[in-house]
């Protein structure tokens, strides 16, 4: 079997490999508040400690800020995406995070952000929202049915010390995709950070995706398993520059001084693929002259998840790509 033809963009090699992603459950929540600042405070708090389902229960992040004309109540807002491995876990994380981070935040309200009538992602079980949080009202809460043209929807008004907390009864959820990824191999840490930051900035301009790690970037890429009993994941030694010549199967040449990973979760596989393409374009756009040597991806031989994003297919149509 012939080896795939090499591909590069601006001297940055694109590996002939694929990112392996897996099914998840997801929802979008729309948080509104009296000012954009307070909506963002609530959103940042809700999305905190949500980088990986390995240890956080869910993966969450800010999708975008919303102008008043784009929110249900005409106030400034923020859209947040949350992803979990099951409908049960997603519902638990929504209840905890909205209850602790949005209900508590001055002037906020929260609404489901996925319209079942227009969703491109397959629908899953709706998750409780106000139907659970209403009990904080201690019997003073009031339900209202409002028909905004898409059928009647129940909202809850819960008395709080700055007025009322308004919350939609449930949030629609969908079958989604988690674990898309890019590995950026660079000459040094500065070059890797510049490439990763450019890639994340490009991805964040797209809808329906988040990059859940701090700043959208993770340095502690992992592999499944460990030499230590009970550990489900451990350092991805094949991509650790300090282990060149020591690890049994290092993927790095001597000129690679830093590797950074970007993990992408999306509402559909098309959304993840579009984000990865944008990231490749932005990172490789800096080129080898800026120290961006290779772009690769993490997979487990196709055994972990059914979604495979082949880098050569994603990069083939980009300007500057050549075999």
Task: Name which of 79, 84, 75 is nearest 54 in CA terms.
Answer: 84
My answer on whether 300 and 244 are in the same domain is yes
Q: Which two tokens stand for residue 66?
A: 């919303």
Domain holding 293, by residue range, is 7-17+177-322
My answer on whether 152 and 281 are in the same domain is no
CA distance 197 to 130: 37
Domain boundary among 172, 196, 230: 172
Predicted confidence at residue 152, as pLDDT, reads 81
Note the pTM of the prediction, 2 decimals: 0.94
pLDDT tens, N- to C-terminus, the chain (323 residues): 466 777 999 999 999 999 999 999 999 999 999 999 999 999 999 999 999 998 999 999 999 999 999 999 999 999 999 999 999 999 999 999 999 999 999 999 999 999 999 999 999 999 999 999 999 999 999 999 887 667 789 999 999 999 999 999 999 999 999 999 999 999 999 999 999 999 999 999 999 999 999 999 999 988 888 889 888 889 899 999 999 988 788 999 999 999 999 999 999 999 999 999 999 999 999 999 999 999 999 998 888 899 999 999 999 988 766 65
CATH number of the structural domain spanning residue 193: 3.30.70.520
Predicted confidence at residue 320, as pLDDT, reads 67
CB 58 within 8 A of CB 83: yes
CB 266 within 8 A of CB 180: yes
Q: Which two tokens stand for residue 297?
A: 């991806």
Predicted confidence at residue 2, as pLDDT, reads 62
295: helix, coil or strand? strand
pLDDT tens per residue across span 38-52 = 999 999 999 999 999
Predicted confidence at residue 283, as pLDDT, reads 98
Alpha helices in 106-251 (DSSP H): 130-133, 189-203
Beta strand extents in the chain (DSSP E only): 7-9, 12-14, 18-32, 59-66, 77-84, 109-112, 127-128, 142-147, 152-160, 163-168, 170-171, 174-186, 209-210, 222-224, 233-235, 258-266, 292-296, 307-310, 321-322
CB crowding 129-142: b at 16 or more within 10 Å, else e = bbbbbbebbeeebe
My answer on whether 98 and 154 are in the same domain is yes
Residue 48 lies inside a defined structural domain of this protein = yes
Q: For the chain, what is the domain count? A: 2
User: 199-206: long-range contacts at Cβ-Cβ below 8 A with a sequence spacing of 24 or more?
Assistant: 199/262, 199/278, 199/279, 199/280, 199/282, 199/283, 200/262, 200/279, 201/282, 202/278, 202/279, 202/281, 202/282, 203/262, 203/264, 203/275, 203/278, 203/279, 204/64, 205/278, 206/271, 206/274, 206/275, 206/278
Alpha helices in the chain (DSSP H): 36-46, 87-101, 130-133, 189-203, 269-286, 311-315
CB 66 within 8 A of CB 30: yes
Residue 191 lies inside a defined structural domain of this protein = yes
My answer on whether 160 and 184 are in the same domain is no
Predicted confidence at residue 22, as pLDDT, reads 95
My answer on whether 204 and 280 are in the same domain is yes
My answer on whether 107 and 145 are in the same domain is yes
Residue 101 lies inside a defined structural domain of this protein = yes
My answer on whether 159 and 190 are in the same domain is no
Residue 2 lies inside a defined structural domain of this protein = no
My answer on whether 87 and 199 are in the same domain is no
Domain boundary among 138, 172, 206: 172
My answer on whether 236 and 294 are in the same domain is yes
């Amino acid at each position: 079997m012939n080896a795939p033809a090499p591909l590069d963009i601006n001297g940055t090699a694109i590996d002939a490999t694929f990112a392996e992603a897996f099914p998840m459950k997801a929802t979008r929540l729309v948080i509104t508040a009296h000012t954009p600042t307070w909506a963002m405070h609530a959103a940042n708090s809700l999305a905190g400690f949500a980088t990986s389902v390995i240890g956080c229960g869910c993966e969450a992040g800010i999708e975008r800020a919303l102008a008043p004309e784009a929110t249900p109540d005409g106030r400034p807002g923020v859209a947040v995406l949350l992803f979990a491995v099951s409908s049960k876990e997603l519902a638990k994380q929504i209840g905890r995070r909205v209850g602790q981070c949005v209900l508590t935040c001055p002037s906020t309200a929260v609404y489901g952000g996925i319209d079942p009538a227009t969703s491109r992602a397959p629908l899953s079980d709706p998750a409780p929202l106000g139907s659970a949080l209403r009990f904080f009202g201690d019997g003073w809460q009031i339900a209202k049915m409002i028909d905004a043209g898409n059928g009647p929807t129940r909202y809850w008004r819960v008395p709080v010390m700055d007025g009322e907390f308004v919350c939609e009864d449930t949030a629609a959820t969908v079958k989604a995709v988690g674990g898309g990824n890019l590995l950026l191999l660079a000459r040094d840490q500065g070059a890797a950070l510049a490439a990763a930051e450019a890639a994340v900035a490009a991805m964040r301009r797209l809808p329906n995706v988040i990059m859940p790690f701090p700043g959208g970037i993770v340095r502690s890429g992992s592999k499944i398993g460990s030499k230590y009993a009970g550990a489900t994941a451990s350092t991805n030694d094949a991509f650790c520059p300090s282990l060149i010549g020591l690890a049994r199967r290092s993927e790095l040449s001597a000129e690679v001084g830093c590797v950074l990973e970007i993990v992408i979760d999306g509402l559909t596989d098309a959304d993840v693929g579009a984000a990865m393409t944008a990231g490749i374009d932005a990172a490789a756009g800096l080129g080898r002259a800026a120290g961006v040597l290779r772009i690769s991806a993490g997979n487990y031989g196709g055994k972990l998840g059914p979604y495979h994003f082949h880098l050569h297919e994603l990069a083939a149509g980009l300007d500057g790509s050549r075999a």
